[in-house]
């Protein structure tokens, strides 16, 4: 065999077919959210799937009502609740050996939960963007109502778009931090949006977008 023949030696056909099949499968798996390059590798994943036009929001967007409620919660947790837990711990110490004291363990656990929530609230309020109550309602963004028809369903469901900390008596909140919320940001009526569910890719159609009156 000559040197030229050695240089032109190709891998067995079965290997080529397997590589092509894996590349094809990978491209199909990342469709809608990825684009395969010439080398078959998936391009970096974008934050928003097909449909949305706004980037992922790193800071929490809160309505004035939610912001005020969280401020009140922080005040309560750093004053009244801290005192209550401190008294609870002191009473539990009086029961004797704390190494086998279930009441003491419960009090310390509650103290840990409270302080974790305090840190979360402080960070959230520090970086929060308070939503302007006036919104055009042309596209999906925090503070609007979006009417969605989920793939395979006939009926549409209306959600309030916003932080997971939002509360509303009528509408369920669609968090902008969820996969669906991220994919919808910037989408308008008539847009079909694909997003990654827990087990598979799912789809919704934006039926309508309107301000929260």
Give residue-wise pLDDT tens across range 86-118.
999 999 998 877 777 889 999 999 999 999 999
Q: Measured between alpha carbons, how far is 83 from 175 in angstroms, rounded to an integer?
A: 33
Query: Given a cut of 90, is residue 202 above it in pLDDT?
Result: yes
Lowest mean pLDDT of 135-144, 172-181, 192-201, name the range.
135-144
CATH number of 134-211: 3.10.50.30
The residue with greater pLDDT, 176 or 37, is 176
Token pair 């008596």 in the structure block, residue = 169
From residue 186, how far is each of 18, 92, 131, 165 by CA, in Å?
40, 53, 16, 21
Q: What is the mean pLDDT of residues 28-50?
A: 36
DSSP the chain: --HHHHHT----HHHHHHHHHHHHHHHHHTTTT--B-TTSPBPPPPSS-TT--SPPP-S-EE-HHHHHHHHHHHHHHHTHHHHHHHHHHHHHHTTS-GGG-HHHHHHHHHHHHHHHHHHHHHHHHHH-EEPPS----SS--TTEEEEEEETT-SS-EEEEEE-TT---SSSEEEETTSHHHHHHTT--TT-EEEEE-SSSEEEEEEEEEEE--
Model pTM above 0.85: no
Query: Given a cut of 90, is residue 35 above it in pLDDT?
Result: no
CATH number of 64-129: 1.10.287.180
Query: Given a cut of 70, is residue 79 above it in pLDDT?
Result: yes
- Are the C-beta atoms of 47 and 56 separated by less than 8 Å? yes
User: Measuring CA to CA, which residue among 196, 213, 206 is closest to residue 157?
Assistant: 206
Going from N- to C-terminal start, the domains of the chain cover 11-45, 64-129, 134-211
Q: What is the mean pLDDT of residues 186-198?
A: 93
pLDDT band of residue 34 (cuts 50, 70, 90) is very low
Q: What is the mean pLDDT of residues 154-182?
A: 93
Q: What is the mean pLDDT of residues 136-141?
A: 84
Residue 57 has a pLDDT of: 53
Lowest mean pLDDT of 27-31, 139-143, 166-170, 194-198, name the range.
27-31
pLDDT band of residue 31 (cuts 50, 70, 90) is very low
């Amino acid at each position: 065999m000559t040197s030229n023949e050695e240089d032109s030696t190709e891998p067995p056909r079965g290997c080529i077919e397997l590589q092509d099949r894996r590349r094809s499968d990978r491209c199909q798996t990342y469709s809608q959210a990825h684009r395969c390059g010439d080398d078959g590798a998936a391009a970096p994943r974008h934050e928003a799937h097909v449909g949305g036009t706004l980037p992922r929001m790193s800071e929490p967007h809160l309505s004035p009502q939610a912001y005020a409620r969280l401020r009140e919660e922080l005040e309560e947790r750093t004053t009244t609740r801290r005192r209550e837990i401190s008294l609870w711990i002191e009473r539990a110490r009086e029961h004797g050996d704390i190494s086998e004291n279930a009441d003491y363990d419960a009090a310390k656990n509650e103290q840990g939960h409270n302080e974790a929530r305090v840190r979360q609230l402080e960070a959230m309020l520090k970086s929060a963007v308070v939503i302007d109550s006036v919104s055009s309602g042309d596209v999906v963004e925090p503070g609007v109502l979006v009417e969605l028809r989920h793939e395979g369903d006939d009926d549409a469901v209306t959600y309030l778009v916003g932080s997971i900390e939002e509360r509303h008596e009528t509408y369920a909140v669609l968090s902008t931090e969820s996969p669906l919320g991220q994919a919808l940001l910037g989408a308008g009526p008539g847009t079909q949006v694909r997003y990654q569910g827990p087990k598979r890719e799912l789809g919704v159609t934006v039926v309508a977008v309107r301000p929260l009156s």
